[in-house]
Amino acid sequence: MEARLAALLVRRRYIFALLSLALVALIASGASKLWFESSYKIFFSDDDPRLVAYEAMEDAYTRGDNVAFVLAPDNGKVFTTANLEAVIWLTDQAWQLQRSVRVDSITNFQYSRAEQDDLIVRDLVEDPAVLDQTALDRLEAIALSEPVLVHALISEQAHVTSVNVRVELPDDSREQSAVVPELMADVYELRDAFIERYPQFDVYLMGQVVVNESFNEAAAQDTSTLVPLMFLAVIVLLTLFMRSLSTTLATIVIILVSIAATMGVSGWLGFQINQVNVSAPIIILTLAVSDCVHVLVSYLKDLRRGLDKPAAMEHALAINIKPVFLTSITTAIGFFSLNFSDSPPFRELGTSVGFGVLGAMLWSLVLLPGVMLLLPIRVRAAGDDPDRSGAMLKLANVIITRHRIIFWGVLAVAAVLISFVPRNEFNDDTVEYFDESLSIRQAFDFVQDNLTGVDSIAYSLPAGEENGIVDPQYLRDVEAFANWYRQQPEVTHVSTFTDVVKRLNRNMHGDDPAYYRLPDDRELIAQYILLYELSLPMGLDLNNQLTFNKSATKFQVNISNLNSKEIIAVEARAQAWLATNAPAIQTPGSSVSLMFAHIGQNNIEAMMRGSALALALIALTLIIALRSIKFGLLSLLPNAFPATISFGLWGIFVGQVNLAVAAVFSITLGIVVDNTVHFFSKYLRARQQLGHSTEDAIRYAFTTVGAALAVTTVALAAGFLILAQSSFDVNASMGMMTAMTIGIALVFDLLFLPGLLLRFDRSPRD
């Protein structure tokens, strides 16, 4: 059957090539539907309960989308005349940013005080030029006495401050993706203008909008650097290995077609480009090389034997159609299993690459012959060309001769490395998603060290009724919760409405510090709040802390940079405290930090289910294709080890499994089976068709496919190692782990598989 199909593909090669190109053009047209979606929300399904809860909180209060200008004066002192003038200038200019709805800084902090029966509310700093040192010291003391400000807008040493801009972004993700770059262009322009006007400041940009744009910038950087670098690596590898520019050119054509079709499929399926699936072209690039190399190695070998070009291509296809088909199916199954992930970008990556792998197989069989036979090619006769199989034959003889010690030695090393797997724990850290070379990471680190924690947990604490936030018991519960949180070692700042109420109570009692406490009278509290609201300027109201009907307040804590398990543990302690001490206001915490912490934990369980199903499907595929339960199961055995060994090495050197690393077993499972399938196909051909003994069949497999396995492994590993250079750690970790697993798989196949066959495939004639 393979021979007849190969003959048809060669005989009608130009028809198939034209049909292929037409099909590719049709599929690739779907790429016009693609656009880059930069929001962090792409990591979560629309019905994710934590995302739903977070969006509900955003709808109830001022949206959490923001840009923060973190300012560090070179003299280490914010409260000087020149530095305060700079903060005022930036605060005023920030109001002019597009979509700005609120700007908070130490200078426009609404400082309240009483004058007889009147409540005076005004900016903390109005005209620095008229302030002497005594007045400056007084303002600094006021700012450092306000819990609302310290570790939020001013450091406790008063050496760093922040101007926080709240923005209203569109709900539509496509419109938002268009708006964010425009907004950030204005932000960069304002930052540069500020630095030019006030060069005594270092400025760091933080905030959710900045993070979204950093995702965009990281993906653009990867696309502009890693893809060209991988193309260069493939050209060099293929040229060195094939020693033929024509085969290199033909392979590049298949790569480009495969990538174009993959992106088109993504567009037709309604996917959008994001920080994770942007790596699909790099992955397809490397996987497409594998199919081409196996066909072209056989093609070149037959040309050197003296066959003409059509006959050589026909024979190359005949012996490779089945293994190329099988390896593509198993690889696609591995990537499709990513659809078990709880995170949409990984599901989209798995689906895109899965279809891309199947497409690469199709183009390698129906387009490659037409392209290759059109190109001129010169090869040396077999007698004049160094025998590439010589080194592989020597390796095969060594392994066969010493198969027992090699077999058990490899198992022993594997057992030792696998024993380190338990050292891994899922402890995702979203800050470390960004490489230290990126400005957003530098901002994260600076803010963490000098101002406040970059992670947060927020609560919408219910009062149980409209206007219920003025109930003294409710406020006492909220205050107790705040006091408990402030005692937690991870907490850097607590934002609670009770601080506002206590300050108003003090103001209305002549600013007597003894009255910095919650009043006991409901009506009095309501009057204080009404009086305060009437005194606030437009844009600086209490909507960021109170719901419209005053039935709940927003309570937020900032915590030092923690990994996912630690963030979840903090929230679990908070829920336990609420259940025991204030059940009336108990509600789950919600934040971007919590969402990422939980998605990572859930993803491990989901990917374990996906990997188990993929393993079963791959086993079934191989059993059916090889028509043997024994060989189907034997082919899986050497592939159960590489990913596990890699996790053992990861446990030794890293020990932290993030969102992407959890998906590596599924990704690599289908890929590493490829080498085994190609090895087995040649081995079984020697056993069943050529009548070789086990030893000679192993030698035959080494000499016919060993070199191709080596070069495809190098190409695959190189591709994923280049991906490991990504500035986005999710992609970098996935690339490093996958490259390591692929390399280990080749070593395992060459050293372990022969010993396995010598034990389980002996026949009486051997």
Higher pLDDT, 534 or 469: 469
What does the block give as tokens for 93?
A: 């200019």
Partnered with residue 66 across adjacent β-strands are 166
- Under the banding of pLDDT at 50, 70 and 90, the label for residue 251 is very high
pLDDT digits (tens, 9 = 90+) for 668-706: 877 888 888 888 888 888 988 888 999 999 999 998 888
- Residue 384: per-residue pLDDT: 42
Q: How confident is the model at residue 386 (pLDDT cuts 50, 70, 90)?
A: very low
The answer to whether 161 and 167 have CB atoms below 8 angstroms apart is no
Maximum pairwise Cα distance, the chain: 110
Residue type, 712: T
Strands 66-73, 161-167: pairing kind:
antiparallel
> 689 to each of 325, 393, 693, how far by Cα in Å?
20, 20, 11
What is the DSSP secondary-structure string of 419-457?
TTGGG-EE---GGGGB-TTSHHHHHHHHHHHHT--SEEE
Token output for 673: 């089976």
pLDDT of residue 381: 61
Mean pLDDT is lowest, of 175-189, 269-283, 465-479, for: 269-283
The answer on pLDDT for 388 being more than 70 is no
Nearest to 721 by CA among 712, 705, 709, 732: 732
- Say yes or no to pLDDT of 385 above 50: no
Q: In the CATH scheme, what is the homologous superfamily, with its name and number, of domain 2-40+213-372+391-423+596-760? A: Multidrug efflux transporter AcrB transmembrane domain (1.20.1640.10)
Give the C-alpha separation, 495 to 554, whole Å. Answer: 8
Buried b (16+ CB within 10 A) or exposed e, 101-132: bbbbbbbbbbbbebeeeebebebbbeebeebe
How, if at all, do strands 201-206 and 110-115 pair? unpaired
pTM (2 d.p.): 0.83
Q: What is the rounded distance in angstroms from the CA atom of residue 446 to the CA atom of residue 668?
A: 37
Residue 603 has pLDDT above 60, yes or no: yes
**Rounded CA separation 423/577 (Å):** 31
Please state, in angstroms and rounded to a whole number, the distance separating the CA atoms of residues 288 and 148.
57
Which helix (H) or strand (E) segment holds residue 199: the answer is none
Question: By C-alpha distance, which of 476, 470, 416, 464 is closest to 649?
Answer: 416
- 39-43, 406-410, 660-664, range with greatest mean pLDDT: 406-410
Tell me the two tokens of residue 509.
Answer: 């009692």
SS3 sequence, 356-417? HHHHHHHHHHHCHHHHHHHCCCCCCCCCCCCCCHHHHHHHHHHHHHCHHHHHHHHHHHHHHH
Torsion sign, CA atoms 292, 339, 735, 46: positive
Percent of the chain having pLDDT more than 90?
Answer: 49
Give the whole-angstrom CA distance, residue 333 versus residue 336.
5
Residue 440 has pLDDT above 60, yes or no: yes
Query: CA–CA separation, 487 vs 494, rounded Å?
Result: 10
- Sort strands 425-426 and 656-657 into parallel, antiparallel or unpaired: parallel
State whether residue 710 is helix, strand or coil: helix
- Confidence band for 429, pLDDT divided at 50, 70 and 90: confident
Encoded tokens for 401:
């001769």
- The answer to whether the beta carbons of residues 385 and 304 sit under 8 Å apart is yes
Long-range contacts of 637-641 (CB under 8 A, 24+ apart): 637/756, 638/676, 638/745, 638/748, 638/749, 638/752, 638/753, 638/756, 639/669, 639/672, 639/673, 639/676, 639/745, 639/748, 640/615, 641/414, 641/418, 641/744, 641/748, 641/752
> What's residue 762's pLDDT?
64
Residue whose token pair is 């923005």: 167
DSSP state of 537: P
pLDDT at 565 over 70: yes
The domain segmentation of the chain, as residue ranges, is: 2-40+213-372+391-423+596-760, 447-590
Residue of 144, 152, 105 whose CA lies nearest to 125: 105
Beta bridge partners of 165: 67, 103
Answer with the residue of higher pLDDT: 723 or 317.
Answer: 317
Distance CA 388, CA 398 (A): 17
Q: What are the beta bridge partners of residue 102? A: 166
Q: What percent of the chain shows pLDDT beyond 70?
A: 98
Q: What is residue 115's three-state secondary structure? A: strand
What secondary structure does DSSP assign to 230-270, as a single string? Answer: HHHHHHHHHHHHH--HHHHHHHHHHHHHHHHHHHHHHHHTT
